[in-house]
Amino acid sequence: MDTQKEALRRIISTLAHKNDELQNFLETVENTVTGLQEESCKVMSDLEAELEQLRSALEEKGVELHHIIKEEQQRKEAELQKQLSEGKFALLSCEELLEFANQTLTITNEEEFLTAAKQIKERVTMAPAFRLTTRPAVSDNMSQFTVDFRAERAGLQRLHFLPVPRAPEIDVSNCVVRDNAITVAWRPLGEADGNSDGGSGPIERYEVEYRKTNHSSSLRVAGEACWEKICDIRETQVTISGLKFDSPFVVVRVRARNKAAAGEFSEPVAMETRAFTFGFDAVTAHAELKVHGDSVTWEPQGVKGHDPRLRAKDNKSSSRSATPSPNKTAVSRAGRDRFAGESYTVLGDQEMIGGSYYWELRPLADWKSFSVGVAYRASLGRFDQLGKGAGSWCLHASQWLQTSLAAKHNNRAKALDWPLPQRIGIYCDYDNGDLMFVDVDQLRLLHSFKTKFSQPLVPAFTVWCGGIAVATGLQVPSFMGKFASTNQSLSSFTQ
């Protein structure tokens, strides 16, 4: 009976796996159909646009040629019209002179005859007919404007669709993951043969798609719509920056596009993205700390000074600040794992043991006091504050009554002479016992602890008035290398 049940379980497991595989396949096919329809509409639209541009270009060229011929015709006509006008005037003058000469022949008086003959001689010398050329200034030949579009017609008749570019090959050796950015490099297929376009016409641009995944082997899964796209890439590499590495891998793929056609995507490549991702453990949060995603705010409960309906009445009898100090805030009843009393603390939900970790903190508006650091979870009691015991290390910032910045550990505090940062980077190298706090905007090491960690650590935060926000899923930034290598610090506590 047990053997048959185990065999049946294996069959059920196989069927379930096959069921998931078929569902993924069907979803992929449906996405492909949708993509095919969208791509067909796009290429049809592109074709119409190209034909319209061709018609427009032909019409523009026709208008241009017509204009050139018309200008030449007008120029020649103007020259010929000028000659016609001058010729008509010369002809009229010549006819008048000829008639005057014929009349002179009939004169019998010698003196009158000699006078008239002299006038005729002078007029002949100055006659326009003898200064006018009798050849047309221009010819009627316009053969220089004859066109022959046989080659263009033949080219149009040979016109066909561009070949689809071949899929590029991702150059894994030149792909880099650093500072929450991924640089993807690739080679056009056929580059080794000196033919970078792979016989498909010049490649104009590339498209890269990427998505996060938890598995390096399951590269083709359902949900293709989750691919993020980067288009219009002109080089053979691209850097994708500002990523949050909240998954172990990022899968990338690339395809080439020529003037109108996009080829197939390359084989996807999974790039490992090691980073420290955690959230706030709301179970540990003080009752007056409210967790909202990646932020924590201090929202006192039952405090008269924070009720706007009571504040006006209270101001009549008291000139004290409406913001209660940490020592005066009412304490609500909390669970066994929740911090209470004056320990306005919340812990991270992921442990650190072995390796290097990095995250950042940003104070929100109206904050008065906060602490950030690491702690042994077991070393903190419900009423313990960060930096008071041997199991917690923190950076404490305050602008309550006076501005201060200090490093705290084992009930010792070291004042730091540096303005309150707007963004604090926290770096923990568990194996080497380094804990560093950095002003990220100024790239200044605020403080470093050097110790030997003996238990799993968790991120720890204290917030009083206002709030903080954290950024996780961050790699250890490259600028931490200079701090870690030189081990520079403003001061250090040694456990």
Write out the DSSP string of 99-120. Answer: HHHHHHTT---HHHHHHHHHHH
Name beta bridge partners: 184: 238
Domain boundary pick from 80, 101, 130: 130
Q: In this structure, is residue 437 part of a structural domain?
A: yes
Is residue 19 classed exposed, middle or buried when 0-12, 13-18 and 19+ CB atoms within 10 A define those classes? exposed
Structure tokens at 156: 């149009």
- 359 and 402 assigned to the same domain: yes
Q: Choose the weakest-confidence range: 46-50, 444-448, 482-486.
A: 482-486
- 254 and 294 assigned to the same domain: no
- 417 and 355 assigned to the same domain: yes
Do residues 334 and 287 make contact, with C-beta atoms less than 8 angstroms apart? yes
Q: Which element (helix H / strand E) includes 189?
A: none
| 6 has pLDDT over 80 | yes
Coil/strand/helix, residue 244: coil
Q: Measured between alpha carbons, how far is 304 from 317 in angstroms, rounded to an integer?
A: 13
pLDDT in tens, 206-219: 999 999 888 765 44
| 489 has pLDDT over 60 | no
Q: What is the pLDDT of residue 368?
A: 94
- 395 and 476 assigned to the same domain: yes
pLDDT in tens, 193-209: 444 444 556 899 999 99
Q: What is the pLDDT of residue 214?
A: 82
Q: What is the pLDDT of residue 239?
A: 96
pLDDT in tens, 14-56: 999 899 889 989 998 999 899 899 989 988 998 899 899 999 9
Question: Pseudo-torsion of CA 301, 302, 305, 308, nearest 10°?
Answer: 90
- 45 and 85 assigned to the same domain: yes
| 483 has pLDDT over 90 | no
Mean per-residue pLDDT, 389-400? 96
Q: How confident is the model at residue 491 (pLDDT cuts 50, 70, 90)?
A: very low
| 242 has pLDDT over 50 | yes
Q: How confident is the model at residue 191 (pLDDT cuts 50, 70, 90)?
A: very low
Q: How confident is the model at residue 226 (pLDDT cuts 50, 70, 90)?
A: confident
- 241 and 295 assigned to the same domain: no
Mean per-residue pLDDT, 54-68? 93
pLDDT in tens, 300-336: 875 443 443 334 334 433 333 344 444 433 333 345 6
pTM as predicted: 0.62
Q: What is the pLDDT of residue 39?
A: 84
Tokens 């053969």, residue? Answer: 143
Mean per-residue pLDDT, 342-349? 96
| Closest-CA residue to 451 (of 386, 384, 380, 376) | 376
Is residue 461 classed exposed, middle or buried when 0-12, 13-18 and 19+ CB atoms within 10 A define those classes? buried
- Listed in sequence order, the DSSP H helices in 237-346 are 308-317
Coil/strand/helix, residue 270: strand
**Count of domains observed in the chain:** 3
- 91 and 179 assigned to the same domain: no
pLDDT in tens, 104-133: 889 888 888 889 888 888 888 777 777 777
Q: Choose the weakest-confidence range: 97-111, 396-410, 428-442.
A: 97-111
Q: What is the pLDDT of residue 86?
A: 87
Coil/strand/helix, residue 450: strand
Q: In this structure, is residue 398 part of a structural domain?
A: yes
Do residues 347 and 354 make contact, with C-beta atoms less than 8 angstroms apart? no
| 488 has pLDDT over 70 | no
Mean per-residue pLDDT, 161-182? 91
Q: Measured between alpha carbons, how far is 254 from 267 in angstroms, rounded to an integer?
A: 8
Q: What is the pLDDT of residue 201?
A: 61
Name beta bridge partners: 240: 182
Q: What is the pLDDT of residue 318?
A: 38
Q: In this structure, is residue 39 part of a structural domain?
A: yes
Q: How confident is the model at residue 260 (pLDDT cuts 50, 70, 90)?
A: low
- 250 and 293 assigned to the same domain: no
- Give helix 110-126 / helix 2-104 axis angle, nearest 10°: 170
| Closest-CA residue to 385 (of 450, 423, 419, 339) | 339
Measuring CA to CA, how many Å separate 461 from each of 121, 281, 412? 124, 11, 18
Q: In this structure, is residue 149 part of a structural domain?
A: no
CATH number of the domain to which 267 belongs = 2.60.40.10
| 96 has pLDDT over 90 | no
- Could you tell me the residue range of the domain that residue 100 belongs to? 35-130
Q: What is the pLDDT of residue 412?
A: 96
Q: How confident is the model at residue 9 (pLDDT cuts 50, 70, 90)?
A: confident
Mean per-residue pLDDT, 250-255? 95
Average pLDDT, the chain: 85
Q: What is the pLDDT of residue 485?
A: 62
Measuring CA to CA, how many Å separate 124 from each of 79, 86, 94, 118, 212? 26, 17, 8, 10, 103
Q: In this structure, is residue 314 part of a structural domain?
A: no
Q: Choose the weakest-confidence range: 59-68, 79-88, 128-137, 471-480.
A: 128-137
- 365 and 443 assigned to the same domain: yes
Q: What is the pLDDT of residue 233?
A: 95
- 262 and 407 assigned to the same domain: no
Q: In this structure, is residue 14 part of a structural domain?
A: no
Sheet holding 345-348, edge to edge: 280-281, 345-348, 457-464, 369-376, 392-398, 404-409, 412-415
- 45 and 112 assigned to the same domain: yes
Mean per-residue pLDDT, 409-428? 96
CATH number of the domain to which 293 belongs = 2.60.120.920
Structure tokens at 194: 């000196």
- 55 and 124 assigned to the same domain: yes
| 78 has pLDDT over 70 | yes
Q: What is the pLDDT of residue 128?
A: 77
Q: Measured between alpha carbons, how far is 426 from 431 in angstroms, rounded to an integer?
A: 16
